[in-house]
Chain A
Amino acid sequence: MSTKLGLLALLGDAPTHGYQLKSDFEARTGGAWLLNVGQVYTTLQRLERDGLVAPSGQDGDERRVYAITDAGRQAIDAWFAEPVVASAPPRDELAIKVLVALAADQVDVTDVLQRQRTATLAQLQEYTRLQRQADPAAELPWVLLLDALILKAEAEVRWLDLCEARLRQRSLDDPTTAPEEARR
């Protein structure tokens, strides 16, 4: 959905052909989501079927050029006007794993939390390294994308910390629920 509307929004700037659209999309989104050109053409065909774009001749290399229609512009206006809201909590493998580990006797939740924390922090270090090398003036989309990834990873670590703090609190309140480590 977001790729389709993203491509449509880019077509709103100027009519263009599929290959150019692919490059524009990748450049504007910091290069994080690479598209294959076949996927772009399939999307363009669907947009044409839905009346959101229309063929607009060929360029010098005989590539088919598409232009946005009025209906397409309305669709884009509506997209930008709507906030992105997930209707239900998205399925989150980490949350599921931790919640299930809590219930499973043979698993030490604290270990699960720590392994995840180490891995997420390593990822966060890598994003931070890329961020450090990036130039916000010249590469704004890339920098903003890294900001988003950094904040998401940071939120994950904070959630893991909170899980551990709540587990500790529970084992203080009720020692029978304490994991091995805390019972010593």
Chain B
Amino acid sequence: MTTPTAADPILELDRVWRVHGAGRTTVEALRDASLTVHAGELVAVMGPSGSGKSTLLTLAGGLDRPTEGAVRVLGQDLAGLRADGLAELRRRRMGYVFQDLNLLQGLTAAENVSLPLELDGTRPRAARKVAEAALARVGLGELVDRFPDDLSGGEQQRVAIARAVVGDRRLLLADEPTGALDSVKGEAVMRLLRDACEQGAGGVLVTHNAAHAAWADRVVFLRDGVIVDQAGPVAGPDTLLAPGTSAR
């Protein structure tokens, strides 16, 4: 596998359609959607429920196949991969953060993070080292031996993020990752996702929360399976606040 450079796209959705059913009961969950996410970039996907957000994330993660069009991760067309190749790509290169964290209660924070590495053949001691480093990056360096039950909601969320970015994962897929956290803790989670992307991953964040979407470099709007619009940060002094020099 070649090492991608920063300019390479991490994820490409190329004119993707996902159609369920046939005939009169056809549902077009995604219609001709194209989206590219580069390394270092976090893209948020917003839209009403049923607009195709989850379908997009499921296709990006290789959990489902498009009816038409191509999904490429790190340049590889997922349709061209055999089941074991796809599983390997998903295990090594993709990380998931879901609202429902799926931490294993019988394992410590470090074990939760190192497990995917060990499943992938990394020796336990080496995996443990990498896991500890990932946990330290999310500010949990002191809590690596705690069990999920002994961690707060925010800390558990951090473990889930550490697990998603551990090793050489380059595509980060997040579905409402802040769950029920309050806004200050939710902001901390967004900060971690951003940091992970700034360190070279590409991220897709599905959310209905505008304040969280605003952490992304781009916001893509879906309606009825169609990408209807995109927002990027406004530039130019007319739209900026004018902070007084004395205050800053």
B residues in contact with A9, CB < 8 Å: none
Contact at A31–B248, with CB atoms within 8 Å?
yes
A residues in contact with B46, CB < 8 Å: 121
Contact at B242–A31, with CB atoms within 8 Å?
yes
**Minimum distance in angstroms from B124 CB to a CB of chain A:** 37
Contact at A142–B243, with CB atoms within 8 Å?
yes
Contact at A122–B234, with CB atoms within 8 Å?
yes
The B contact surface, by secondary structure, is loop
A residues in contact with B247, CB < 8 Å: 26-31, 139, 141-142
Question: Using a CB-CB cutoff of 8 Å, which residues 219-248 of chain B contact chain A?
Answer: 219, 221, 223-224, 228-234, 239-248
When chains A and B are docked, how far (Å) is the Cα of A111 from the Cα of B242?
31
Residues of A participating in the B interface, judged by any CB pair closer than 8 Å: 23, 26-32, 34, 114-115, 117-130, 132, 139, 141-142, 145, 149-151, 153-154, 157-158, 161, 164-165, 168, 181-182
Contact at B239–A126, with CB atoms within 8 Å?
yes
Contact at A124–B211, with CB atoms within 8 Å?
yes
Contact at A126–B240, with CB atoms within 8 Å?
yes
Most chain A CB neighbours (cut-off 10 Å) among B219, B246, B247? B247
Known: A26-B246, A164-B48. A32 touches B231 (CB 8 A): no
* Interface flags, B40-53, vs A, CB<8A=1, else 0: 00000010100000
B residues in contact with A23, CB < 8 Å: 244, 246
Name the residue on A nearest B217 (C-beta).
A125
Contact at B246–A27, with CB atoms within 8 Å?
yes
Contact at A118–B221, with CB atoms within 8 Å?
yes
Contact at B244–A34, with CB atoms within 8 Å?
yes
When chains A and B are docked, how far (Å) is the Cα of A129 from the Cα of B190?
12
Name the residue on A nearest B47 (C-beta).
A161
Q: Is B173 an interface residue (CB 8 A)?
A: no
When chains A and B are docked, how far (Å) is the Cα of A127 from the Cα of B211?
10
Known: A31-B248, A118-B221, A118-B229. A128 touches B234 (CB 8 A): no
Contact at B216–A27, with CB atoms within 8 Å?
no
Interface size on B, residues (CB 8 A): 33
B residues in contact with A126, CB < 8 Å: 233-234, 239-240
Most chain A CB neighbours (cut-off 10 Å) among B191, B210, B213, B234? B210
Contact at B210–A31, with CB atoms within 8 Å?
no
Q: Is B214 an interface residue (CB 8 A)?
A: yes
Contact at A125–B219, with CB atoms within 8 Å?
yes
When chains A and B are docked, how far (Å) is the Cα of A107 from the Cα of B240?
30
**Minimum distance in angstroms from A105 CB to a CB of chain B:** 22
A residues in contact with B241, CB < 8 Å: 31-32, 130, 145, 149
Name the residue on A nearest B229 (C-beta).
A118
Contact at B243–A118, with CB atoms within 8 Å?
no
Contact at A128–B211, with CB atoms within 8 Å?
yes
Known: A132-B191, A150-B211. A26 touches B233 (CB 8 A): no
**Minimum distance in angstroms from B109 CB to a CB of chain A:** 26
List 5 contacting pairs A-B, 8 Å CB cutoff, sorted by A: A118-B221, A127-B214, A129-B233, A142-B247, A181-B223
A residues in contact with B210, CB < 8 Å: 120-121, 124, 153-154, 157-158
* Interface flags, B18-51, vs A, CB<8A=1, else 0: 0000000000000000000000000000101000
B residues in contact with A145, CB < 8 Å: 241
Q: Is B215 an interface residue (CB 8 A)?
A: yes
Contact at B231–A150, with CB atoms within 8 Å?
no
Contact at B224–A128, with CB atoms within 8 Å?
no
Name the residue on A nearest B246 (C-beta).
A27
Name the residue on A nearest B218 (C-beta).
A125
Contact at A122–B233, with CB atoms within 8 Å?
yes
- The one of A28, A121, A129, A164 in contact with B213, judged by C-beta atoms closer than 8 angstroms, is A121
Contact at A125–B216, with CB atoms within 8 Å?
yes
